[in-house]
Amino acid sequence: MRAAALEARVLDLVVDVPPVRFEPQFHPERGQIAIFDRSWYGRVLVERVEGFATTAEWKRGFKEINSFERQLRDYGVILAKYWVHISREEQLRRFEERKAIGYKEWKLTEEDWRNREKWGAYEEAVEEMLVKTSTRSSPWCLVEGNDKYWARAKVLSKLVEILSSELGYQPADPLKKSEDKKSGKGTNGNKAKRK
């Protein structure tokens, strides 16, 4: 989902939030949407793999993350967590494409290539993160990301499922609506009146 395409009055894009404590600037107002991009998981991923945190610090990070997310949930935030995974081969294909296409070149840095060499360490860190931070109230949704369109559809589908459950609302089936229009039925199952 592209944040730029959403209504600015109801969307807040937040990047790199530390899981210190629940602070008002890190949560959306009632009725708003906040997208936390690579938020409070840095301690157990990048800081762990790159050696920016001690073993004790990144291990403590799991508890801090779960506590922070529990505070968000207690505050009334509906939390949807996604891990979009791509294969090593698909990552290389995307890197090569970005290198070859001028207008995509800016998306690729030397650090990306360097981090690729640590695939195994990141994979181990991700697996532990998913296990230790997927809770009953804040579970992870794993998304197969090799096909970008499939990944987007899965994210949106899961979001509808989560929001429907949390808000006690069942959206209309868009396929059923289409069939009703074709058959001339209205929303109450009767034939639609024609003028």
Query: What's the pLDDT score for residue 17?
Result: 52
Q: Hey, where are the domains in the chain?
A: 3-183
With 0.85 as the threshold, say if the pTM is over it. Answer: no
* CATH of the structural domain 3-183, one choice from 1.10.1040.10, 3.40.50.150, 3.20.20.70, 3.40.50.300: 3.40.50.300
Which three-class secondary structure string do you get for 150-163? HHHHHHHHHHHHHH
Contact partners, residue 61, CB within 8 Å, separation at least 6: 19, 43, 44, 47, 48, 53
If you average pLDDT over residues 68-95, what whole number do you get? 92
Rounded Cα–Cα distance for residues 130 and 78 (Å): 19
Confidence band for 55, pLDDT divided at 50, 70 and 90: very high
Is 189's pLDDT higher than 50? no
Query: What's the pLDDT score for residue 195?
Result: 41
Confidence band for 30, pLDDT divided at 50, 70 and 90: confident
Rounded Cα–Cα distance for residues 40 and 34 (Å): 14
Rounded Cα–Cα distance for residues 65 and 149 (Å): 30
Mean pLDDT of the chain: 82
65 closest CA partner among 28, 25, 127, 18: 18
Query: Per-residue pLDDT tens for 38-53?
Result: 678 889 999 999 999 9
